Structure 1
Amino acid sequence: MHTHENTVRLMPDVATQAQPHLAGALDWVGMDGIEVPVLFDAGDGTVQRASAQVGAFVNLTRPDRRGIHMSRLYLLVDEYLSSRPVDANTLQDLLHAFLDSHKELSDRARLSIRFDQLVRRAALRSDNSGWRAYPVSLEASLCEDGFRLELGTEVVYSSTCPASAALSRQLIQEQFAKDFDAKQPLDHSAVLAWLGSEKGIVATPHAQRSVARLLVRFVDGAPLDLIHVLNQVEQALGTPVQTAVKREDEQAFALANGSNLMFCEDAARRIQRVLDADNRIADFHVRLEHQESLHPHDAVAYASKGVPGGYGDGRA
């Protein structure tokens, strides 16, 4: 009877067979959409388990080899990501393991991880709170220029158009002029009642759901503090979408929108200012998308740190 070891040894491995008519080196070979649980501390000290989609790749330097050992990549992904919290050290170790498993075939490795991170957010005024799921993407590579790691996420917020607000105020002024004779003294109670009626808000500025898509590269040794980045961006914008909402929270949100009128350019500069001042961030790229309610196309702005050779050099 054959042992398991002998059976495996006798199995053919066509990936090692040369294909002279198809010889050539390949930039990246691997797998995408690997399903695996990941452990991640978003910055609050709590390690959360999430269901992730992982891409694992190495290059193929030898034109005489038909393929790589994909099962080795899969097993290494399972070994490292199922048992160790995801941080820079874990990802760098995993990429080195990719290359160690393909010593004669590869000299570059790449890894992508995509999952949602749940973060509890307090209501604006009431004592309630609720969960927000923030998409997280981690892109790590190990190449001739060393280890590189990027964190991506999104912030969804409300944006009220400053131009529309100005036009609405003009219409309200005109309605006031029609309803109150300039030659007559104003009655305080009548004006107060008018302001609380539909005539007192005859026009409203348009607002829309908006998205800030962030890509951040931290300085070496800095933790992947997702919550800190989210807090900075949401505070700079002033109008992130809410979870639990009672009437007092909705009123506070209306007040926040009225106090934070912004074009997409304004939003981009607000985020640019706070991220540029963070010494833990080496570089960043931001795409702002205001999904307009006035017309079917979106208003878009981009911003970056402006590091030479960084995200801002021709990136869109």
Structure 2
Amino acid sequence: MTALTLPDIAAQSNAQNQPRLDFVGMQQIALPVLLDGKPLDCRVDAGVSLDNPGARGIHMSRLYLALEALEQRELSLPAIEAVLHQFLQSHEGLSQQAHLNLRGELLLKRPALVSPLAGWKGYPLELNTRLDAAGFHVELQLTLGYSSTCPCSAALARQLIQQQFVDDFAGISLDHADIIAWLGGTSGILATPHSQRSEARLRLCLDPKLQRLPVRQLLNNAEAALGTALQTAVKRADEQAFALANGQNLMFCEDAARRLHQCLREQDGLLGFNLEVVHAESLHAHDAVARSSWNWR
């Protein structure tokens, strides 16, 4: 019996010219890679444009197989660019633009502020890349959490404490021990500032010539600029140090956005950025938000 050739429906020509499609491909492909030497469980979107008006479809299996070049290897911009070139080469005559987007969560072990404890913290990230006639385009998105203490509530709490001190010791001669005892009690410090868990979302246009993805450096610099990164494993000494850090870094959302803006402006390898900070208010039922950008399209 003569073996029949398997049909390739996608390769069939359309009888009539059809409109161009911006993206045809697959999404949510599982792909294990390495980032900064650590495993990163990615979900990948891979696709190309369909520019040939007479072509019915693309060859999705060719895109899928090209991703093998990234499997279990250090994720780098040169490696991603090579895969995008492979996407276009395998669709010569069909496509003029290739896309590769990766999403995952980088786990970094973070030390406690004072004690020898340490714990793992997750940082969601997304890397969106494109190759076309204009060149190689790279956008990195990072999300990091921090604590923010309201400067207004801190000032109001201090005023109440001052007033309580006046009420408790009016006309009374004080010595050092009396003041220490009052400060350590519950009747004197009757008000505290309100803090909230907050989030910074960074969209960064990277220089496509970077050899390594500066994810850890970007996260470290951003957390240092804010001064109140969320903690993992802690003892009481760490919790006290965290309270101190919050007291020394009182922040409206405007303050946090400006700190991050300045931090990113000093970062090498960035062509532009767009950032957003969200303070999940503990006073209000709504969030406080600030945004800033530089050289953003």
Counterparts in 2 of 1:71 and 1:120: CA distance versus 1, 3 Å: same
Query: What is the distance in 2 between the residues matched to 1:246 and 1:20?
Result: 71
Q: Work out whether residues 171 and 202 of structure 1, in 8 Å CA contact, stay in contact via their aligned partners in 2.
A: yes
Q: Structure 2, unaligned stretches of length 5 or more?
A: none
1:114-166 CA-partner distances (Å, limit 9, x unpaired): 11111111110001111111112111100121001122111100000001111
Give the CA RMSD over aligned residues.
1.6
Q: Work out whether residues 17 and 65 of structure 1, in 8 Å CA contact, stay in contact via their aligned partners in 2.
A: yes
Answer with 266-275 or 62-71: which moved more: 62-71
**Counterpart for residue 219 of structure 1:** 207
2:66 to 64, 69, 76: 76
1:16-47 CA-partner distances (Å, limit 9, x unpaired): 23444682211111111001111222xxxxx1
**Counterpart for residue 257 of structure 1:** 246
**Counterpart for residue 23 of structure 2:** 28
Answer with 110-119 or 19-28: which moved more: 19-28
**What are the residue-to-residue correspondences of 1:38-49 with 2, within 5 Å?**
38-41=33-36, 47-49=37-39
**Counterpart for residue 153 of structure 2:** 164
Q: Work out whether residues 138 and 208 of structure 2, in 8 Å CA contact, stay in contact via their aligned partners in 1.
A: no
Query: What is the distance in 2 between the residues matched to 1:83 and 1:190?
Result: 64
1:196 to 164, 184, 194: 184
Query: What is the distance in 2 between the residues matched to 1:95 and 1:144?
Result: 12
Query: What is the distance in 1 between the residues matched to 2:32 and 2:134?
Result: 30
Q: Structure 1, unaligned stretches of length 5 or more?
A: 42-46
Following TM superposition, by how much is the alpha carbon of 1:57 offset from its aligned partner in structure 2, in angstroms? 1.1
Query: What is the distance in 2 between the residues matched to 1:13 and 1:280?
Result: 44
Query: What is the distance in 2 between the residues matched to 1:69 and 1:208?
Result: 49
Query: What is the distance in 2 between the residues matched to 1:22 and 1:159?
Result: 57
Answer with 10-19 or 245-254: which moved more: 10-19
Counterparts in 2 of 1:111 and 1:188: CA distance versus 1, 3 Å: same
Letter in 2 for 1:136: L
Query: What is the distance in 1 between the residues matched to 2:237 and 2:290?
Result: 32
Q: Please give the TM-score of this superposition, normalised by the length of structure 1.
A: 0.89
Letter in 1 for 2:20: A
**What are the residue-to-residue correspondences of 1:1-316 with 2, within 5 Å?**
10-20=5-15, 23-41=18-36, 47-77=37-67, 79-181=68-170, 183-222=171-210, 223-304=212-293, 306-307=294-295, 311=296, 313=297
Following TM superposition, by how much is the alpha carbon of 1:220 offset from its aligned partner in structure 2, in angstroms? 4.3
Q: Alignment partner of 1:99: what SS?
A: helix
Q: Please give the TM-score of this superposition, normalised by the length of structure 2.
A: 0.95
Q: Alignment partner of 1:198: what SS?
A: coil
Counterparts in 2 of 1:147 and 1:220: CA distance versus 1, 3 Å: closer
Query: What is the distance in 1 between the residues matched to 2:114 and 2:21?
Result: 56
Letter in 2 for 1:249: D
Following TM superposition, by how much is the alpha carbon of 1:221 offset from its aligned partner in structure 2, in angstroms? 3.1
Q: Work out whether residues 228 and 245 of structure 2, in 8 Å CA contact, stay in contact via their aligned partners in 1.
A: yes
Query: What is the distance in 1 between the residues matched to 2:92 and 2:188?
Result: 74
Query: What is the distance in 1 between the residues matched to 2:15 and 2:172?
Result: 97
Following TM superposition, by how much is the alpha carbon of 1:98 offset from its aligned partner in structure 2, in angstroms? 0.3
Letter in 2 for 1:80: A
Q: Work out whether residues 24 and 64 of structure 1, in 8 Å CA contact, stay in contact via their aligned partners in 2.
A: no
Q: Work out whether residues 84 and 90 of structure 1, in 8 Å CA contact, stay in contact via their aligned partners in 2.
A: no
